[in-house]
């Protein structure tokens, strides 16, 4: 039996760190939006008893720590089934690795959803989310059917919000890999008494989003090590973006463009600017499931 699923990327339209828990995880308020930039995850059940991973990207090796493999192992641990079972996972990577776009978490969520379908839906969405706990804070979002959410807790308490599909997205990844844990370990919490209420982040489908709501507490941490992030933001604004922000722990920066003409012109300009830097990627995208 075989199945193929999309694993979409995400951007954080805003992200505020509100505290740190005793287990080391940080409490967040963040608005996340899925994009139509997707990995493709193909799953095939086997009787080998092994979990095999192949990927077209050299950045992703057949490592037991890979989130797709860990997700499959977790599913098989909690799913009661007699007889040998195995899985062949094939990843077509389109989302840059360690880029703040949630690619690994999305791949893991796709594996959980795909296995659940292949075995006849033994688990509800809530039960799959319990299964995914510990794999990654963004896994819950990718397991949900919501294209956009306001996430609290460690990112696993979700409230659906209106999808931000009135803008086109231009992503620039400068090719440096950023470890999420390092960014959070180097983030210094303050004792501000802010209410952490962001424009466009309330739990209502009618709530509109505006570029003025773009904010990311982690941006200063990653930019201090990789100043190119600030320069990419400047370039996006200079080429016509209504707003620009680093996503997640970075280093990918995205710009919001109001029409395709400006988007295409900016994408062409930035592609030419970074033509001599093979590690850079300039990607256009739309909201996942959007117009």
- Mean per-residue pLDDT, 230-245: 96
Which stretch of 68-72, 99-103, 134-138, 245-249 has the lowest confidence by average pLDDT? 134-138
Which residues carry out catalysis?
10, 138
200 — pLDDT class (breaks 50, 70, 90): very low
Q: Which residue has the tokens 């951007």?
A: 11
- Contact between 23 and 64 under an 8 Å Cβ cutoff? The reply is no
- Mean per-residue pLDDT, 221-249: 95
In the sheet with 168-173, reading across from the earlier edge strand, the strands are 243-246, 253-257, 168-173, 281-285
Q: Tell me how crowded residue 290 is: count the other CB atoms within 10 A of its CB.
A: 17
- Contact between 152 and 28 under an 8 Å Cβ cutoff? The reply is yes
196 — pLDDT class (breaks 50, 70, 90): very low
* Chosen CATH of 2-160 out of 3.30.230.10, 3.40.50.80, 3.40.50.2000, 3.40.50.1820: 3.30.230.10
Closest CA to 180 of 114, 237, 136: 136
- Give the Cα separation of 210 and 243 in Å (integer): 9
pLDDT at 52 (0 to 100): 92
206 — pLDDT class (breaks 50, 70, 90): very low
Do 2-160 and 168-208+216-285 come out as alike in CATH topology?
no
- Mean per-residue pLDDT, 212-229: 93
For residue 96, pLDDT over 90 is answered with yes
For residue 193, pLDDT over 60 is answered with no
Where do the H-state alpha helices sit in 26-81? 67-78
Query: Domain-by-domain residue ranges, the chain?
Result: 2-160, 168-208+216-285
Q: What is the CATH number of domain 168-208+216-285?
A: 3.30.70.890
- Give the Cα separation of 103 and 196 in Å (integer): 27
pLDDT at 75 (0 to 100): 94
Q: What are 264-273's pLDDT values in tens digits?
A: 999 999 999 9
- Give the Cα separation of 44 and 5 in Å (integer): 12
Where do the H-state alpha helices sit in 51-102? 67-78
Predicted TM-score (pTM) of the model is 0.89
Q: What are 33-87's pLDDT values in tens digits?
A: 999 999 999 999 998 889 999 988 777 765 666 899 999 999 998 887 756 678 9
Buried b (16+ CB within 10 A) or exposed e, 127-145: ebbebbeebbbbbbbbbbe
């Amino acid at each position: 039996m075989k199945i193929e699923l999309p694993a979409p990327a995400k951007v954080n339209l805003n992200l505020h760190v509100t505290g740190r828990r005793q287990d080391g995880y940080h409490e967040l308020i963040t608005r996340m939006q899925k994009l139509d930039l997707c990995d493709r995850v193909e799953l095939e059940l086997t009787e080998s008893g092994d979990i095999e991973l192949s990927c077209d990207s050299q950045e992703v090796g057949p490592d037991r720590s890979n989130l797709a493999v860990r997700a499959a192992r977790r599913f098989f641990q909690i799913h009661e089934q007699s007889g040998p079972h195995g899985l062949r996972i094939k990843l077509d990577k389109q989302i840059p690795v360690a880029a703040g776009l949630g690619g690994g978490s999305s791949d893991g969520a796709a594996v959980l959803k795909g296995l659940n379908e292949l075995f006849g839906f033994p688990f509800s969405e809530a039960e799959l989310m319990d299964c995914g706990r510990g794999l990654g804070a963004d896994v819950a979002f990718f397991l949900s059917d919501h294209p956009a959410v306001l996430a609290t807790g460690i990112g696993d308490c979700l409230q659906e919000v209106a999808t931000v599909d009135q803008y086109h997205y231009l992503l620039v990844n400068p090719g440096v890999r950023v470890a999420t844990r390092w960014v959070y370990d180097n983030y210094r919490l303050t004792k501000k008494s802010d209410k952490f209420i962001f424009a466009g982040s309330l739990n209502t489908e009618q709530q509109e989003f505006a570029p003025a709501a773009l904010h990311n507490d982690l941006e200063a941490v990653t930019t201090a090590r990789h100043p190119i992030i600030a320069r990419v933001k400047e370039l996006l604004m200079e080429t016509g973006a209504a707003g620009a922000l680093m996503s997640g722990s970075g280093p990918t920066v995205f710009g919001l463009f109001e029409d395709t003409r400006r988007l295409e012109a900016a994408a062409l300009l930035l592609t030419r600017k970074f033509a001599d830097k093979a590690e850079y990627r300039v990607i256009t995208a739309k909201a996942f499931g959007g117009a």
